[in-house]
Structure 1
């Protein structure tokens, strides 16, 4: 789910689709990720961002924006993400990532 904020009750604006795979044979356990952010509400409804990169949980991860569709056609830029703890009681098997997105598009 893509939401406006980390609170479970914040507005749903889209969904994240993609995959992650192990990208390191060392103890750090780095991941390679390929993601699409698909926007289903708000001013970017119907648009997508394509994101690619390598990182480790527990750190700030920088990923490149390699393209997009709709209002993000020909997008370029980067994201910074980090794991955050949502407010309220813990929810088992829930991973919440906060993304700051810096994007240029036509």
Structure 2
């Protein structure tokens, strides 16, 4: 069996359903190992400390990955995702987009 590429999903939680869809699709159809986004961030407002922790954890996920997969529905890329893309580029990770910009 060929080694699967590890990807971290990046995208706005406003597109949560598409993020979940892509997680399933990437694993089942394209043979990726997907590191996802914590789902509970939509259920309540996070403190600044919690946002910092989640940002740090997301950077660690990117470090563990071969690539990031940007779920950019209708080309939308928010400020936090732009930072994640820049971080991934600095680390030499492949950047894969759902939609070409």
Bin the TM-score by the shorter chain. Answer: under 0.3
The structure richer in strand per residue is: 1
Bigger Rg over Cα: 1
The structure richer in helix per residue is: 2
Q: Which has the higher contact order (CA 8 A, sep 6+)?
A: 2
